[in-house]
Amino acid sequence: MKPVSTEPDSTSYQTIVNAIPDMIIRIGKDRVLRSFEGNIKDLHLPIDTCLGKTVEEMLPGAAAESFTDALEKAFATGQVQRLEYSLTLGNRIQYYESRMVKYNDQELIAVVRNVTRQKETEQELRRCQSRLEYQMEMHSEDLSVAESKYKDIFNHSGAPSIIVDQDLTMSMANEKFEEFIGYPRDRIEGRMKWTDLVHPMDRDMVRSYHYARRSKESYAPNEYECRVVDRKNAVKSIIIKVGLLSDPGRAVASMLDITSLKQTEKELRDRESLYSAVLEGYEGFIYFIDDNYTIRFLNENLTQSLDEDASGKICYEALHHRTSKCHWCVAQQVFAGGSIRFEMKNPRDKKWYYSVNVPVKLSDNQIYCQCMITDIDEFKRMEETLRSSEAHLLEENSRLRSSVEERHRFGDIIGQSAQMQEAYEMLLLAASSDNNVIIYGESGTGKELAAKTIHNMSARSKAGFVPINCGAIPENLLESEFFGYQKGAFTGANTDKRGLLDAADKGSLFLDEIGEIKPGFQVKLLRAIEGGGYTPIGSSEIHRPDFRIIAATNRNLFEKVKGGQMRSDFFYRIHVIPIHLPPLRERKEDIPLLAEHFLKAYDRKIRPRITSGVMDTLVNYTWPGNVRELQNVLYRFVTLKRLDLTGQGPSLAPGTETAETVMAPPGAPLAEAVAGFEKQQIIAALAECRWNRTRTAKKLGVGLRTLQRKIKQYAIQ
């Protein structure tokens, strides 16, 4: 029988096989002897002579006939078959006990033990009993003489023996029994009852046999198994042989310690159960080959996969339909003692497998190669998909970063300032993730545009982008708007209405001014966000759409949480990736870019030219309405042909200069006049270079530090 499992199991198997006194033979249904393991020294012929031979060829007539009958019964019934047989080897008879266990439909395992010594011991016991009985018959007139002879025989007997009286008292015990049980004879003889030493679970049986035998000797077996407990409380299994003496009620009992045999039987049963469970539970393929590449064993999974039992066939022919050894074969390395693990793509079915190959050393020092094959095709495909996806994401990330750095925009968002570059980094992170996003910014900073950009660059771009202004929906309509309703749910519900969450399935839900949602509805929305689902009004069906939240607000949500206007669990569920959009007044260097972008929407023929004075006015304005206000001002500029910042009258007509462009009045100190001129030159250059200080310094022919010092000196903003 081959141990088929992982390395530790194989080691455990070999340890058990080496420890037991049995020889393990694998026999085919065709009666061919296929392998020998364990205590092969008891094999009466060399292994090479026996392998491949039939039972009839290797055993003499009567033994072969008994062996064959038991083999056929084992295959037919599936039950363990036990038999005893003997062989005459040289001038000595060898006795054997065999237990046959059906392994599968084609093989069984025979566990063979040489019991010659036990038989000889039993014969010696019988001879001893005969001598005892003879002495009792010859000297029944003088019991004291007889007992003296009993003691002499006991003291020289090789088996533990006792004489038990009618009342179960042990009147005599020999030295072997004294050694076996651990108590001295002066504490046993005449003081202890035989049942005092019998295991509690066997006492009733032993007691019943004792009295039944004295009623009629045939009423109880002369030989049986039981357990005793020695002085150290160790439980020992014995075979006890009992014979009645001529003295009324007295019997002699001799014992054979079979504790190790019972333990070996238990270990063998446990091992068989263990490896049967391993073989049945392992989802992969297991097979063993010898150094001729012949398959010696394969598990049921592999047999079913091949639609045949390939035992005895060449592995590369049976498994891979090849005429020569596989180029990936590692068997020779395994036969040399190595353990090899590798992945391979099977040319037969084009699938990926993980192969573990380890050596298994048999009792005759022959080495088998154990192969354990696991199907990893699905994992390899997932790995390739992930690798491809990772490469795509890296490429896309690189492309987006290049776009940010070189073209001064991110999607439809315009800006090259340091603040916007930082915002682009966060937008890029949000686009590559599927976590919820919260965008902070004043009104007019482009929060919805940023949300659309995140959606369009994310994996959800093929699904919908659903925007909603939370502050524009009355509180009593929030549930119907978000969750929808069924026809007839309330008065006026004449048709089914799909909610915003369903509309955003597989896409993104943009919640503008999320801080306006009241805590009562936050609870329901939170449950839907966390996957708990919701039911439309008037329905009992639970909806669980897959959507991503992109929220926006111009409020301080931390203060709302502290003040109780927003639940903390709702806040932390949406506040995963926070993005802050700076106000326009904090990124004035982006104003020339934005102005150019907005004016491109008009035909060149109708859009006025932006002079340095106009740009100076735009740059120096505080822009409370941010980018949206700038866009409206430029639209008025195109329409009215004059710059009107507030909508209440012209701020600057086309072609005119700002107040700061006016030269110093005549007679002013030269230093003041030069400073005014220098300031205007710097402002004009900054405007022309779109407030890029590096290019401005180069245009003016001064160093960057000089320019920065002048800007600070003249308070140019």
Instruction: State pLDDT tens for residues 471-501.
Output: 888 888 888 889 988 887 787 778 888 889 9
**Domain contains 383:** no
Answer yes or no: are the C-beta atoms of 169 and 251 closer than 8 Å: no
Return d(Cα 660, Cα 664) in angstroms, integer.
Answer: 10
> How high is the pLDDT of residue 675?
80
Residue-level pLDDT at 243: 86
- Domain endpoint, select from 69, 87, 114: 114
Instruction: Identify whether residues 83 and 37 lie together within a single domain.
Output: yes
Same domain, 415 and 555: yes
Task: Note whether residue 391 is domain-resident.
Answer: no
Residue 651: which CATH number?
A: 1.10.8.60
What's the pLDDT at 12?
62
Is 384 a member of any domain? no
The predicted pLDDT at position 2 comes to 46
Q: According to the model, what pLDDT value does residue 301 have?
A: 84
**In a shared domain, residues 233 and 358:** no
Distance CA 102, CA 105 (A): 8
Residue at 401 is within a domain: no
Question: Per residue in 298-350, pLDDT tens?
Answer: 888 888 888 888 899 999 888 888 888 888 888 988 988 888 888 887 777 78
- What average pLDDT does range 232-253 have in this prediction? 88
> Of 659, 675, 694, which closes a domain?
659
| Residue 561 and residue 436 in one domain | yes
- Whole-number Å distance between alpha carbons of 410 and 399: 11
**Cβ density class 636-671: b for 16+ within 10 Å, e for less:** ebeeeebbbbeeeeebbebeebbeebeeeeeeeeee
Is the pLDDT at 239 greater than 60? The verdict is yes
| Residue 394 maps to a domain | no
**pLDDT per position as a tens digit, 84-123:** 888 887 788 888 888 888 888 899 988 888 888 888 888 8
Distance CA 144, CA 167 (A): 20
Domain endpoint, select from 563, 582, 601: 582
**Tally of domains within the chain:** 6
Quick check: 209 pLDDT over 70?
A: yes
CB atoms within 10 A of CB 630: 21
Measured in degrees and rounded to the nearest 5, phi and psi for residue 542 equal -85, 125
Q: Write out the residue range of the structural domain in which residue 295 sits.
A: 282-375
How far apart CA 386 and CA 383 sit, in angstroms, is 5
**List of long-range contacts for 584-587, beta carbons under 8 Å, 24+ apart:** 584/444, 584/445, 584/623, 584/626, 584/627, 584/629, 584/630, 585/622, 585/623, 586/419, 587/415, 587/417, 587/419, 587/420
CATH number of the domain encompassing residue 678: 1.10.10
Confidence of residue 654 (pLDDT cuts 50, 70, 90): very low
Based on the domain organization, do 590 and 577 belong to the same domain? no
The pTM assigned to this predicted structure is: 0.41
Same structural domain, 446 and 534: yes
Question: Given 3-state DSSP classes, what are the helix, strand and coil percentages for the chain, each rounded to the nearest 5?
Answer: 45, 20, 35
CATH number at residue 464: 3.40.50.300
Give me the CATH number covering residue 47.
Answer: 3.30.450.20
Answer yes or no: is pLDDT of 277 > 80: no
Strands 437-440 and 548-553: parallel
Residue 270 is assigned to a structural domain of this protein: no
Q: Transcribe 235-298 into DSSP letters.
A: EEEEEEEEEE-SSTT-EEEEEEE-HHHHHHHHHHHHHHHHHHHHHHH--SEEEEE-TT-BEEEE
**Do 355 and 415 share a structural domain?**
no
Domain check: are 424 and 548 in the same one?
Answer: yes
- Match 């006194």 to its residue by tokens: 21
